[in-house]
Structure 1
Amino acid sequence: MTNRLSTDTLPLLNGRIATPSYDRAALAEGVVHLGLGAFNRAHQAAYLDAIAKQGDPRWGIVGVSLRSPGVRDRLASQDGLYTLLVRDGAGEEAQVIGALKRMLVAPEDPEAVVAAMAQPSVHLVTLTVTEKGYALDRAKGGLDTSNPDIAADLASLAAPRTAPGFIVAALNRRRVAGLPAFTAASCDNLPHNGALLRDAVLAMARAHDAKLADWIETNGAFPASMVDRIVPATTQERIDRFATDYGVLDDGLIETEPFTQWVLERNFVGEMPDLASVGVTYTAAVAPWEDAKLRMLNGAHSTLAYLGGLAGIAYVHEFVADARRRALIERLWDESATTLNPPPELDLARYRADLLHRFANPRLQHKTYQIAMDGSQKLPQRIVAPLRARLEAGLPSPMLELAVAAWMAWQRGVDAQGNRFTVDDPLAAKTALAWANSASPDDACARLLAMIEIFGNVAQQWPDLAWRTAKTLRRLIEDGPAALIADMTGAEA
């Protein structure tokens, strides 16, 4: 008989699954997390679960979905419990995470979210809302006032819709009640994510009450962070296989790799969980760690996602299984590495080797299509930033330019075999229009490079970039990814 995971069935689990060693009922709601997705449940929640296992019950999590009720609906019948299945070539380990105390869906009850964040017991708010969740205007800076949710929150915070809106509404309630501010830690793949969150929150607050903004600026804390763990989307097939292998039905199953990292700026207010005791690195400067992760891991991920997706390669481990494609990634890293100022603790050669090992993990089944989503929000920090740095230094960057061309080709919505797919991106309509209005790849390249929200002024500052990228784009479309990769790496197709 297969039992559904829940508080009642925990004692029935076989010894192959580790279960919470603490009293979940005694956990206080000390953390609110905005963006209750798979990454948070594999990363921040796992660290806080480890804190609870050490005997500190103050850091139970209220998980908030800002859009969809899907996670809440899957976990409601499981009392918020789910299994974290850590897999690599050596085997797998399963543990039930119990730190998630309560789940809320913001559009259903925004007041409940604000009330949760305004509780005296809450001292930490963490966010994984993806790059687009901050609703920033990359071209002009500040909040994107054309975003209807931002516009609504700027007009009224009676029922917030956005992460900055919820934070401002909650901090205002705390101020009125005489409570201290909380620490708000962005855990998204954005450079200077703490400063970006702080600026977004202050802009939102100042639109409503200058004194509130001043209070937040004086009393709040917005530490930068770098987080790293590969977390593929879980399929129904994997849920069914887990039920067969372990005898438990878990609709909230999360699969991940053994590697996990969290680097957090030492910039807090009030009480904080002892995250250093469970492996979190505290530092005064997160930026060098951020840049290394964004430009090496994430930059390679985006590059192989577009090239692999165009070539019909479904998974990351399949892409790096080929020597020519591995050589491409190594050469991309050669370029990006010159733009880094790595922290002393980071050995770049070892880091690169570890990344390739992680990419090659066949048990993760990390889809290239998943990584390719929202590319317009990811490209600026992953690819454009190191490309700009090399252009400023007068260095050639054929691999970074290939990454840009691959993103451009992806916007056509058709792979090298002629199969059509949906481009999942906030700017998909704009990039599709660029292609529709173009008579040639060269024309499309010029239109796409002119999107300042992605590329800034690189096309104007370095005019030669357009024709080089257009040439690569033409070859990518005409010859296909495999032939182009072979040619650019000096290997036979």
Structure 2
Amino acid sequence: MTVKLSLGTLAALPAGVAKPRYERGRLSPGILHFGVGNFHRSHQAVYLDELFNAGIGHDWALVGAGVFEGERPNRDKLIEQDWLTTVVEQDEDHIGARVTGAMVDFIMPGDTAAIIGRLADPAIRIVSLTITEGGYFIDPASGHFDPTHPGIVTDAANIASPKTVFGLILAGLMRRRTAGIVHFTVMSCDNIPHNGRVTADGVIGLARLVDDELADWVAQTVAFPNSMVDRITPATTDRERAILAEDFGVEDNWPVFCEPFRQWVLEDHFTAGRPPLEQAGVQFVTDVAPYELMKIRILNGGHAAIAYPAGLMDIHFVHEAMQENLVRDFLAKVEHEEIIPTVPPVPDTSLEDYYQLIEKRFSNPKIGDTVRRLCLDGSNRQPKFIIPTIVDRLKAGKCIAGLALESALWCRYCFGTTDSGTAIEPNDPNWDRMQATAKAARSDPAAWLAMEDIYGEVGQSAIFSAAFAAALRNLWANGARETLRRYLSNP
């Protein structure tokens, strides 16, 4: 028999499920969060839940805010259970479930007036974001904010009724400024290099379109701390809901399954105070950049390296990809020969130990992370996780054979069929463009590299172009398995 999750049933949950040790009614909001998804609920919300369990920081509870209509179904799932979430951590040696209660409200997607009103509330001292790479309006080729994006142009013309996250943030800051309320800190928790700076560029760039003096005020007074966040958290399916019900006796509309490992490195730069997150394991530093670069290149770049060959081989789960020697050995070779050498030293960290940890995490058979999730949104992810490494290797005159093969594997994946001929469903916001370009690249590999907004100067490199073309031709002639086998046989 299962217990349906809600505040009223907390006491009835099975003994093996950890429950909040604080009274939810005593929490008050201090953080408004855009992008209430699985990662946020397995990461930031868990850190806050641990803090609250220790009897600390009860005035820093979370309020979710929805921007897109597609967020409504998940909001409906959460409101049914009083905003509670069951977080299940598991690996080969451990499985445990806990109910977290750090969220106390979730503003309806599209309710602009309510969101701006809450942003103007002096109690809200931090606005945090997990809106994914595509939500920052970054021009992939330059890496800078794109002020010509239609959503930004529309918000600039009607900042009193914005539609984008940056527009809402700016509207909230403007209202606080007018009312003389101390401005909130804007804290990105997305996997983007220099995420604080990128967020600042977006908010300030939008403000510049509205009023130069407003933009100068934001630049001079609002804090945008950089952060590095890490926890592998796959999407929730009926599989996860069934495991939770069968193994723990809990019925949760939207549980989160994740690995036990988590990390949060954060700059201590806040203008209106912050919760004492160091007491829950957050590492506060003066410079996040070394940790961020290590994670983005070794972990996120590593995910890309295993994703596309596994996708072409019809492998479903990430741990199954790691059980395939060709994929695992490809990851190890490209990491050790091409990726890790571009990562500068990180304080108190062994890069080899970090890689070994990454390999173990990728191999975790319990969390059910899918290859398709890793393949998602390559048009936004590759310019951040792979192409900068290629740039560094080319500038240093070093080998790029493995990275060229990774890029060719991505191109081949975007063609839309696996090596067995199975159709690949659209898996990128720009899928139509990516598929059309991949089809053109089958006979003319240069067509793929001609996407300047993605490849920039890399696409103009004769060395990279030749390596990419050779790899892509090999993939079409021999398939992913044989192409990997030939790559791995070369010293």
TM-score (norm 2): 0.96
Mapping for residues 70-219 of structure 1, pairs under 5 Å: 70-107=73-110, 109-139=111-141, 142-145=144-147, 147-219=149-221
Aligned-partner SS, 2:89:
strand
Find out whether 1:343 has 2:342 as its counterpart.
no
Alignment counterpart, residue 360 of structure 2, candidates 352, 357, 367: 357
Task: Tell me the secondary structure at the aligned position of residue 297 of structure 1.
Answer: helix
Counterpart position of 1:37:
37
1:296 corresponding residue in structure 2: 298
State the 1:182 CA deviation. 1.0
Q: CA deviation at 1:442?
A: 4.8
Mean Cα deviation higher: 167-176 or 61-70 = 61-70
| Counterpart Cα distance in 1 of 2:425 and 2:147 | 27
* Residue in structure 2 matched with residue 488 of structure 1 by the alignment: 487
CA distance in 2 between counterparts of 1:459 and 1:476 reads 19
1:149: Cα distance to partner? 2.3
**What residue ranges of structure 2 are gaps of 5+ in the alignment?**
none
Quick one: distance in 2 between partners of 1:211 and 1:247? 57
Instruction: Tell me by how many angstroms 1:387 deviates.
Output: 0.9
Task: Say whether 1:475 aligns with 2:478.
Answer: no
Question: In 2, distance between residues paired with 1:187 and 1:164?
Answer: 15
> 1: distance between equivalents of 2:392 and 2:143?
20
What is residue 448 of structure 1 aligned with on the other side?
448
Please state if 1:331 is matched with 2:330: no
Letter of the structure 1 residue corresponding to residue 199 of structure 2:
L
Q: Shift of residue 324 of structure 1?
A: 3.0
- C-alpha separation in 1, matches of 2:402 and 2:189: 28
SS of residue matched to 1:31: strand
Correspondence for 1:225 among 227, 242, 259: 227
Q: Distance in 2 between matches of 1:197 and 1:425?
A: 23
Give the deviation of 1:142 after TM superposition. Answer: 4.7
Letter of the 2:300 counterpart: N
Read off the aligned partner of 1:483 and give its amino acid letter: E
CA distance in 1, matches of 2:378, 2:282: 29
2:67 counterpart of 1:66: yes
Distance 1:331 1:270 in 2: 46
Q: Larger deviation: 110-119 or 349-358?
A: 110-119
Could you tell me how far apart the structure 2 residues matched to 1:161 and 1:411 are? 31
Deviation at 1:145, TM superposition (A): 4.7
What per-residue deviation string (whole Å, max 9, x for no partner) do you get for residues 130-170 of structure 1? 11011222345654355432222121122222121111011
CA distance in 1, matches of 2:213, 2:410: 44
CA distance in 1, matches of 2:405, 2:45: 37
SS at match of 1:9: helix
- Secondary structure of 2:8's partner? coil
Residue type at the aligned position of 1:199:
D
SS of 1:181's partner is: coil
Quote the residue 2:405 is aligned against: 402
**Aligned residue number for residue 421 of structure 1:** 424
CA contact (8 A) 1:87 1:257 kept: yes
Q: Which residue of 1 aligns with 2:4?
A: 4
Q: In structure 1, what is the equivalent of residue 309 of structure 2? A: 307
Identify the residue that residue 47 of structure 1 maps to in structure 2. Answer: 47
Give the length in aligned residue pairs: 486
Pick which of 76-85 and 472-481 moved more: 472-481
CA distance in 2, matches of 1:159, 1:25: 32
Alpha-carbon contact 2:140-2:380 (below 8 Å) kept:
no
* Separation (CA, whole Å) in 1 of partners of 2:473 and 2:453: 24
Residues 216-257 of structure 1: per-residue CA shift (max 9 Å, x gap): 122210011110000011111220231122222101200000
User: Deviations for 1:331-378, whole angstroms, at most 9, x for unmatched residues?
Assistant: 111111111113121111111111111111100111010111111101
The alpha-carbon deviation at position 266 of structure 1 amounts to 2.1
RMSD: 1.5
Is contact 1:442-1:471 (8 Å) kept? no
Cα distance in 1 for partners of 2:103, 2:247 equals 25
Q: For the Cα contact (< 8 Å) 1:410–1:423, is it kept in 2? A: no
**2:465 corresponds to:** 466
Q: 1:204 to 1:336 in 2, by over 3 A?
A: same
200-209 or 132-141, larger mean C-alpha shift: 132-141
Q: Counterpart in 2 of 1:279?
A: 281
- Give the distance between the partners of 1:142 and 1:158, measured in 2 at CA: 25
**Separation in 1 of the partners of 2:66 and 2:81?**
17
Match of 1:240 in 2: 242
Contact 1:124–1:183, Cα closer than 8 Å, also in 2: yes
